[in-house]
A and B are shown apart, each in its own frame.
Chain A
Amino acid sequence: MNFTNFTRTPKTPTHGRSRSTARTPLSPSLAAGLNSLNISNSSPTLTRKGVPAGDITNPFIVNSSKSRSSSPVKRVTAGSGLQVNAQLKRQASSGVIRKGGPESRLDVITLDYHAPRPEAKRSKSQSSLKRDKAFPREPSVPPSGNADRFISSRGDIDVGTGYQPAPSSADSSPGHIMRLAEATGIPLNKRILGFHEAPPPPSSDQAMATQRSIIRPLYSRTGTAGSTGATTNKSRKIRTVAERILDAPGMMDDYYINLLDWSCNNVVGVALAESAYIWRGDVGQVSHVTEASDGHWVTSLKFSNDGAFLAVGFSSGSIELWDVEGNRKLRTMNGHQAQVPSLSWHEHILSSGCHDGSIWHHDVRIANHKVMELLGHHGEVCGLQWRDDGELLASGGNDNVVNIWDARYGDVTPDTRAAAKWTKRNHTAAVKALAWCPWQPTLLASGGGTGDATVHFWNSTTGARLHSLKTPGQVTSVKFSPHRKEFMSTHGLPTNGIMVHAYPSMERIAEIRDAHDARVLYSALAPGGEMVATAAADENLKFWRLWEAPPKKKVEKPKVPMEESILSLR
């Protein structure tokens, strides 16, 4: 060190301090010399350098008087070799001081004066012991009750910087600390650490984002064009007005149920609140089929593949089977404990999805009708569709899951039957719309609800997702055209529309906006594959000619005569 040659006084302030306290009282002459010193230097080292060589100033005195201008923390930590960074200083000034924290390791002040109390030594804690080690030559407690300079000067500085020393362990018993720790929830032998940086603020403006999220369902979804009512592809013209509109009073506005079906015998089945009706397309005649018991309503309705039978599911959980021709009830199948929102037929097997997430297979020919139960959903099963060949069953639920079941009934072990072949969790909302492609048997389309509004296409053999299509609003149904490589989908808010897209190019062929005044909830494909019936909560049943039959089959003509009906025609 370069200033050893100045004086023979000890180098470390610690040592000097203790000695001066004990033996070197401040003499007036020295104080006068002190005052004459240049005190513009802030660091003790510099001050010592500024002292003339002949001056026999006690460096400690210089030190201590200078230190009044700087913080005690800084001075002492410089001596003990601990780096004081801006962080520590900020923390100290904010009054956050904790046992075990950096402050407690600063080896400062709190104990350089020992009060002559006998219990002071008894209740020394670990930290005070550590300090004793750091000051090995510290003299024992000065017996006199003289005012200690250091304490008084520190008091001044404390007021100035707002620094509050941690309660020294010397004046608090271990029991007190335990109680304190318990009351504040701060564990004694633990440290609570936080990252030094505050988390970054959101890069995008929160207020703007909120505003955007509020209007997003209306305007900023993908696939939403201008506000024109309908768009069709240049090369194809699709009639964007309904061919026929029927009144459907009491049509329920419920996304999760399925109230419309069109049989291969050209009979449209529709459920209006607690009643189910059929409308015979060829004669335009309506007949009432069944009615739900008190306090219940129809939640699903499905014709068998040959069109001879109609299955009706109720909110009570029961399912009725009706003979369409004879208009008589064949049987009632009970067992479900909650409403039956979806039904699908394969030959004599009727599958029903239940509100509780279970799917049951009913063999309608035998008395003990329940032949299998599939458990794979945690939410209401609102979409259910057999593949035409009956090898696979697709189900979609309110748990946002699409399941594909290898649900062949019969010669498979119970284990394989009970587990889904594929479980797809890509949707982020309930899955109601499901359709198997008629010209590519491995292709399944599934559409999600409001939060998702996406149609996914799956290969049921490999489980791969082949395509995805973002749509403007919740997908309530998807239907493939049997004749063209196209599919139609119906949507809820904001467009309330019908869209036709090409597959696999996803090119938009047509969009009919505001097809209904409320969200289009249900759709059914005509047996000829040209017409589509849609129903919505605006209590209308509309028929749309979306696809022309291929030219060679034009001889057959659609079997849907648009003659008079007894339902009011608009």
Chain B
Amino acid sequence: MAQRQATRGNISLKGSTQLVTEFFKYAVNTILFQRGVYPSDDFHMVKKYGQTLLVTQDLALENYLDRILAQVNKWLLTGSVTQLVLAIIAKESRTTLERWVFDITLTEPPSDESAPTHSKPESEIQEEIRYILKQIVSTVTFLPIVDEPTVFNILAYTSESADVPADEWVDTDPLAIEASKSQQVKLRSFSTDVHRIEAMVAYRYDG
């Protein structure tokens, strides 16, 4: 019995990791498109989560994101990543303009006696994801207009013990925005049986 439960837990962790990784892919693409980090010509429409999303078709960027997401996937499986941050940085001044923060928490496995672990239907998860992506799209209404060339950077907050492939990932600056000049907006969250993702955007606002 314990054996079976363990394997099932394992499988759902894998599935959930897959879902979360996929979500990051589309979220990152959506942000890069919406915030104009890459020219809109580089994006094409795909159907996903019951809506059309824009995904880059720039091969170099695609490969870059794939390599990052592959590592994120590994970290998710070991549960060693706690936060992913997509920072949008002004190209000239190197100041951080926006930080898109995705908090990842492993939801506690239910205790053994409370057997009825009702698993969340995929459609419900997809709906939650759809709402987050829609929210990302709608943030253009309040985020300050970015009228300078920008670059992005993806940071992963991992635990001290995380396996880090040498040469690929290096300790880095948090690219934080000064607290006095930062506004934060909490976005929706979604959760699978295993993971819970909370999204937040912080942006520079010198009002």
Stretch at the interface among B2-10, B102-110, B169-177, B188-196: B169-177
A195 touches B168 (CB 8 A): yes
Contact stretch, chosen from B16-24, B114-122, B149-157: B149-157
Determine if B42 and A191 form an interchain contact, defined as CB atoms under 8 angstroms apart. no
Count contacts on A: residues with CB < 8 A to the other chain.
37
Complex contacts, A195 vs chain B, CB 8 Å: 64, 67-68, 71, 153-154, 168-169
Q: Contact between A425 and B52 (Cβ–Cβ < 8 Å)?
A: yes
| Known contacts A185-B176, A203-B60; A193 and B170 CB within 8 A of each other | yes
Q: Tell me which of A96, A190, A210 contacts B172 (CB under 8 A).
A: A96
Q: Bound complex: CA of A100 vs CA of B156, how far in Å?
A: 15
Which of A184, A187, A194, A425 is packed against the most chain B CB atoms within 10 Å? Answer: A194
Complex Cα spacing A428 to B157, Å: 35
B25-39 interface (Cβ within 8 A of A): 38-39
Q: B-facing mask of A74-118, CB < 8 A → 1, else 0?
A: 000000000101010001000010101110000000000000000
Bound together, the chains give a CA A204 to CA B60 distance in angstroms of 12
Judging by beta carbons under 8 Å apart, are B149 and A206 in contact?
yes
Q: Give the chain B neighbours of A91 by CB distance below 8 A.
A: 170-171
Contact indicator A202/B38 (Cβ below 8 Å): yes
Decide yes or no whether B164 CB sits under 8 A from chain A. yes
Residues of B within 8 A of A184 (CB): 174, 176
Q: A98-B171, A100-B171 are in contact. Are A193 and B164 (CB under 8 A)?
A: yes
- Asked if A198 lies at the interface with its beta carbon under 8 angstroms from chain B, I say yes
The total of chain B residues at the interface (CB under 8 A) is: 42
A187 to B38: give the CA distance in the assembly, Å.
32
Q: Which of A98, A190, A213, A428 contacts B159 (CB 8 A)?
A: A190
Query: Contact: A193 with B40, CB < 8 Å?
Result: no
| Known contacts A100-B160, A199-B61, A426-B52, A194 near B39 by CB under 8 Å | no
Identify the 6 closest CB pairs spanning chains A and B, nearest first: A209-B39, A194-B172, A200-B60, A101-B171, A193-B169, A193-B156
* Interface residues of B, Cβ cutoff 8 Å to A: 38-42, 45, 47, 50-52, 58-61, 64, 67-68, 71, 82, 149, 151-160, 162, 164, 166-174, 176
Question: Which A residues lie at the B interface, using CB under 8 A?
Answer: 83, 85, 87, 91, 96, 98, 100-102, 184-187, 189-204, 206, 209-210, 212-213, 425-426, 428
A-B contact pairs, 23 of them (CB 8 A): A98-B171, A100-B160, A187-B157, A189-B160, A190-B157, A191-B157, A192-B172, A193-B155, A193-B158, A193-B169, A193-B170, A194-B156, A194-B170, A194-B171, A195-B153, A196-B169, A196-B170, A202-B61, A206-B39, A209-B41, A212-B41, A213-B40, A426-B47
